[in-house]
Amino acid sequence: MSRIFTTAFGAVYPLYVAKAERKGRTRAEVDEVLTWLTGFDERMLREHVEAGTTFEDFFAQADLNPAVSLITGTVCGVRVQDVEDPLMRRIRYLDKLVDELAKGRPMEKILRS
Query: How open is the CA angle 109-63-66, to the nearest 5 degrees?
Result: 45
For residue 78, the cross-strand partners are 75
Structure confidence at residue 113 as a pLDDT band (50, 70, 90):
confident
Identify the structural domains of the chain with CATH numbers, from first to last.
3-104 (1.10.8.290)
Structure confidence at residue 11 as a pLDDT band (50, 70, 90):
very high
* Across 13-39, average pLDDT: 97
For residue 79, the cross-strand partners are 74
**Residues 61-112 pLDDT 10s:** 999 999 999 999 999 899 999 999 999 999 999 999 999 999 999 999 999 9
For 68, residues 6+ apart whose C-beta sits below 8 A from its C-beta are 37, 90, 93
User: Rounded to two decimals, what is the model's pTM?
Assistant: 0.93
